[in-house]
Structure 1
Amino acid sequence: MGTNGAKAMSMVEVKVPDIGDFKEVEVIELMVKPGDTITVDQSLITVESDKASMEIPSSHAGVVKELKVKIGDKVAEGTPLLTLETEGAAAPAPAPAAAAAAAVASAPAAVASTPASPPPAPSLTLVESKPVPTAALEPREDNGFKPHASPSVRKFSRELGVDLVRLKGTGPKGRILHEDVQNYVKAVMAGHGETAAAPAGKGGGIGLDLLPWPSLDFSKFGETELQPLSRIKKISGPNLHRNWVMIPHVTQFDEADVTELEEFRKDSNAALAKSGVKLTMLAFVIKASVSALKKFPAFNASLDEKGENLILKKFYNIGFAADTPNGLVVPVIKNADAKSISQIAQEMGELSAQAREGKLKPADMQGASFTISSLGGIGGTAFTPIINAPEVAILGLSKSSIKPVWDGKQFAPRLMLPLSLSYDHRVIDGAMGARFAAYLAEVLGDMRKTLL
């Protein structure tokens, strides 16, 4: 009787699961400590990539015996995080495995081959950034000095053409932060620092002789409130600024007659009501865009680093802007050419839900060859979307409306969808831009053309 009630204890080493294409990410927060009792899927650490922050969950439940990482360490898939003392066999609890199997069973056919019980994937979460003091712009001599900065900051500085040797970091132990790079660039733009030369092919050494940014005490005029930008906006802002300054944008406006397509969409949704799949107009536009990209391959391309060659892509990965409480993110529908409209709609719904919950994985936002930003559910007649480098074009959708259209004999009420196509004028000329928009409108007017 003495031993039957005893529970066998074992030690388990928890490692970093698959985190996409990232080779190394930096640990920026420890969320557990030795002695803590944790559960399966409980977040253990927070790491930061050049895209976002991720919480790494535990694959096992138990008591933390030893942490094997510290803040500032670089980790990758397979890196040991900690050791756990667990009860019984060293295996994950069955409930998460069953949930994973259920998730796979409900996924589109294109991804149904995923193993039923993979290690829990890291989920994205927003990490509030604390205000930091302005970096002192004190140029230093190199002399073999290596600036103290994370890989994401180094990548950010390379994109903006900033030499980190010239910055003095305001982080712990003189660490250079994203904010330090941003402040340096702002100071250069305002004429308070040395000009940062952009690499060849990435702006060609843009020099902007601008007036200093106006700094006013607005409280003199009335009540004010200081609201920090969300982490997503802090990350996306510099990229949008770079893209707008370095890419010669042209925006082509057109309209697509989607009267019949909208009727077909409504009828299809009624027929698919029991399946749980809801077709959206954006799903049809994604499929139509693939047809247009095949006809005009320059839109499905990127310039090489030197700006001398065009890299034509033979895959069709379509990014779509998803609105979240903390800002826009861009999940990607991979291999959209090989998926049906219902598969695209289902995958869009799943990715949008993950985006709103902050659970998109880095791999879910990588590899796009063309992007669509839809504001049709909100309103507006047209806008000028900013190209998402290194892509060369982006399509904007506004709210469709009934308009009188001349059919050769009379004016008839037709449902018209506004299209706003921005393209890189170094790659695409005006005639090609107009032809792409006109062809896309033609396909949306008759989706049977996608079969040709």
Structure 2
Amino acid sequence: MSAIEMNVPDLGGPGEAEVIELCVEPGQMLSVDDSVVVVESDKATIEIPASGAGKVQSLNVSVGDQVKTGDLMLMLEPAEGEVSEKNDSDGGQQSNAQSALPETGQPTVSMPEPAPEPPARSEPARSGHELPGSPAKESMVYAGPAVRKLARELGVPLDKVTGSGPRGRLLKDDLEAFVRAQMEKAERVAGTLPEVKLPDFAAFGPVERAPMSRLHQATAKSMHRSWLNVPHVTQFDHADITALESFRKAQKSEAERKGLKLTLVPFLLKAIAYALRAYPQFNVSLDIERNELVYKHYVHIGVAVDTPEGLMVPVVRDVDCKNLWALAEELTELATLARDRKLKPDQMQGGCFTLSSLGGIGGSGFTPIVNTPEVGILGVSRSDWQPRFNGESFEPRQMLPLSLSYDHRAVNGADAARFTTLVGKLLGDVRRMLL
């Protein structure tokens, strides 16, 4: 039985289309309506089906070829009993199925066998030497052109996805479910990496093991998660707090009368609150799944507290609405509760930004880790006296190191520099906070 030509059908216009995918290979058995090639024009992606059943004798197109209506795609050796129709491009050849005139004088025609259904997704025809994820293997997947295009855009290997449509056909929902599953798997892996194999420390000398407290474990997991998920950048700066310290010390007697201790922290909180109002891009959280920024119209600031059990971060609410004395009183209460392990869950939730002050301990700067889903944290180190030029001469000034770490997905470097500059100006002259 002679082979028949299978040509490119009407593409809906005189222009050419590019072959972007081959769905068959020489020697493969085809059924009617099986996908042969996928072409892409400037208007649409078109999946060309087989117009007959049989074995592919030869392929006459390759990926990247430009084809038009009537071009030869492949030569097909028709299945036994298959009637060859006229070729659209050259007037066609006569079918090998001949009409017969028996003694009755009535013509009879051999009828083609019913075309088998397209192969199920789980059992596509393939050669025995294909590699997982190979183009030949993917071409056997039962999927439409829109799904194939989406898979190329997402970088999803079609042969790795299980179809939920009729006869195992792949749907867009299947691709989306596959991508979600891979992302969840990546998150689980990221949550356990990097893993470090420990040596036998006892081989080098005496050792002792002690269990990590639950607070220590929770802090370690939270910091690890934030560090893996947030692209951190740290902006360093200094604030001149010479005048502020003079004012603060002058309030010592008033603080004693109120039974309070006025530290630098309430001033820092007020300056941060002012800056958060001035630069609301720091008072947000990222919703990556919905591609949205969540802007918060309140100012709650977490304050890291060092306790014997580990780091705790109580949250001071509505900082912008409270005066220095109210903040000093609340900070004292929260710090006491933290050290006594008596903080309630709601007293550690709802923060918009975090302050981590190591000024009472030491250091000249550090890179604090963002407390996600917040996008910023200000680290403060110990102040010291430095010579500063005033335009005529050098004079001693008390300088406070600032370290602002931020999530670079939400905040750019220019805004971070503006933020620390504003905080420095506010601490340099607290009267600015009244403006």
* TM-score above 0.5, yes or no: yes
Residue 253 to residue 273, structure 1, CA distance change in 2 (3 Å): same
Which of the numbers 264, 270, 281 marks the counterpart of 1:298?
281
**Alpha-carbon deviations, 1:149-199, whole Å to 9, x = none?**
xxxxxxxxxxxxxxxxxxxxxxxxxxxxxxxxxxxxxxxxxxxxxxx9544
Partner of 1:411: 394
CA distance in 2, matches of 1:245, 1:207: 7
Q: Secondary structure of the residue that 1:274 maps to in structure 2? A: helix
**Alpha-carbon deviations, 1:1-27, whole Å to 9, x = none?**
xxxxxxxxxxxxxxxxxxxxxxxxxxx
Q: Secondary structure of the residue that 2:208 maps to in structure 1? A: coil
The aligned runs of 1:20-419 (5 Å cut-off) are 197-199=182-184, 213-306=196-289, 308-419=291-402
Letter in 1 for 2:429: D
CA distance in 1, matches of 2:265, 2:289: 34
CA distance in 2, matches of 1:317, 1:210: 32
Paired residues of 2:190 and 2:228 also in contact (CA < 8 A): no
Q: Secondary structure of the residue that 1:272 maps to in structure 2? A: helix
Flag structure 1 segments of 5+ consecutive residues without an equivalent: 1-195
State the percentage of identical aligned residues: 47
Partner of 2:419: 436
Deviation, structure 1 residue 363: 1.1
**Alpha-carbon deviations, 1:120-153, whole Å to 9, x = none?**
xxxxxxxxxxxxxxxxxxxxxxxxxxxxxxxxxx
Q: Secondary structure of the residue that 1:277 maps to in structure 2? A: coil
Deviation, structure 1 residue 212: 5.1
> What TM-score do the two structures reach when normalised by structure 1?
0.54
Paired residues of 1:251 and 1:420 also in contact (CA < 8 A): yes
Letter in 2 for 1:433: A
Letter in 2 for 1:244: W
Paired residues of 1:371 and 1:394 also in contact (CA < 8 A): yes
**Which of the two has higher C-alpha Rg?**
2
Paired residues of 1:405 and 1:414 also in contact (CA < 8 A): yes
**Alpha-carbon deviations, 1:255-284, whole Å to 9, x = none?**
000000011011112222121021110110
Q: Secondary structure of the residue that 1:219 maps to in structure 2? A: helix
Q: Secondary structure of the residue that 1:302 maps to in structure 2? A: strand
Deviation, structure 1 residue 228: 1.1
Q: Secondary structure of the residue that 1:346 maps to in structure 2? A: helix
**Moved beyond 3 Å, runs of 4+:** 196-200, 203-212
Q: Secondary structure of the residue that 2:411 maps to in structure 1? A: coil
CA distance in 1, matches of 2:193, 2:373: 26
**Alpha-carbon deviations, 1:398-441, whole Å to 9, x = none?**
00001101111111100000000000000111111111111110
**Alpha-carbon deviations, 1:58-102, whole Å to 9, x = none?**
xxxxxxxxxxxxxxxxxxxxxxxxxxxxxxxxxxxxxxxxxxxxx
**Alpha-carbon deviations, 1:335-367, whole Å to 9, x = none?**
111100110011000010011111111111111
Deviation, structure 1 residue 328: 0.7
Paired residues of 1:300 and 1:392 also in contact (CA < 8 A): yes
CA distance in 1, matches of 2:319, 2:303: 12
CA distance in 2, matches of 1:415, 1:197: 53
Paired residues of 2:368 and 2:403 also in contact (CA < 8 A): yes
Residue 222 to residue 390, structure 1, CA distance change in 2 (3 Å): same
Paired residues of 1:324 and 1:356 also in contact (CA < 8 A): yes
CA distance in 2, matches of 1:220, 1:205: 33
Deviation, structure 1 residue 206: 7.2
Greater RCO between the two (CA within 8 Å, min separation 6)?
A: 1
Deviation, structure 1 residue 214: 2.1
Letter in 1 for 2:385: I
> What TM-score do the two structures reach when normalised by structure 2?
0.56
